[in-house]
Amino acid sequence: MFLSDTIAAIATGMTNSGIGIVRISGSEAFAAADLIFRPAKGNHKVSEMKSHTIHYGFIYDKEELIDEVMLVVMKAPNTYTREDTVEIQCHGGVTVVRRVLETVLKHGARPAEPGEYTKRAFLNGRIDLTQAEAVIDVINAENEYALSNSLHQLKGIVSEKIRVFRENMMDHIAYIEAALDDPEHILLDGYDEKVKESLTKMRRELKKILASADNGRVLSEGIRTVILGKPNAGKSSFLNALMREERAIVTDVEGTTRDTLEEHLLINGISLHIVDTAGIRDTEDKVEKIGVEKARNCAKDADLVIYVVDSSRELDENDEEILSMIKDKKAILLYNKCDLDAKVSEEQIKKIAQMPVVKISASRGDGIEEFEALLKEMFFEGKININDEVYLTNARQKSCITEALSSVEMVLQSIEDGMPEDFYTIDLMNAYEALGRMIGESLEDDLVDTIFRKFCMGK
Dihedral angle sign, alpha carbons of residues 250, 251, 253, 256: negative
User: For residues 370 and 352, is the Cβ–Cβ distance under 8 A?
Assistant: no
In degrees to the nearest 10, what's the CA dihedral of 277, 278, 280, 283?
A: -160
* Percentage of the chain lying above the pLDDT 90 cut: 33
- The CATH code of the domain at 131-212+392-440 is 1.20.120.430
List pLDDT tens digits, range 289-332: 677 777 777 778 788 888 888 888 888 888 888 888 888 888 88
Q: How would you classify residue 20: left for phi > 0, otherwise alpha for psi between -120 and 50, otherwise beta?
A: beta
List pLDDT tens digits, range 357-370: 888 888 887 888 88
Distance, in Å, from the CA atom of 386 to the CA atom of 19, rounded to the nearest integer, reads 33
pLDDT of residue 406: 95
CA 312 to chain centre: 42
Q: Domain 220-380 classified CATH 3.40.50.300? A: yes
Please state which of the ranges 394-398, 419-423, 450-454 shows the lowest mean pLDDT.
Answer: 450-454
List pLDDT tens digits, range 122-170: 889 888 888 887 777 776 666 666 666 667 677 777 888 889 999 999 9
**138 or 92, greater pLDDT:** 92
What residue ranges do the domains of the chain occupy?
Answer: 7-126, 131-212+392-440, 220-380
Distance, in Å, from the CA atom of 191 to the CA atom of 399, rounded to the nearest integer, reads 30
Return the ∠ at Cα 385 (arms to 380 and 387), rounded to 5°. 150
Give 396's pLDDT tier (boundaries 50, 70, 90).
confident
Query: Against a cut of 0.85, is the pTM above it?
Result: no
Three-class SS state of 257? coil
The residue count of the chain comes to 459
pLDDT of residue 148: 67
Residues 232-253 have a mean pLDDT of 67
Three-class SS state of 305? strand
List pLDDT tens digits, range 432-448: 999 998 888 765 565 56
Q: Is the pLDDT of residue 387 over 60?
A: no
CATH classification number, 7-126, choose in 3.40.50.300, 3.30.1360.120, 3.40.50.720, 3.40.50.620? 3.30.1360.120
Strands (E), 348-396: 357-359
Distance, in Å, from the CA atom of 271 to the CA atom of 290, rounded to the nearest integer, reads 28
Helix, strand, coil distribution of the chain in percent, nearest 5 = 45, 20, 35
pLDDT of residue 380: 61
pLDDT of residue 30: 96
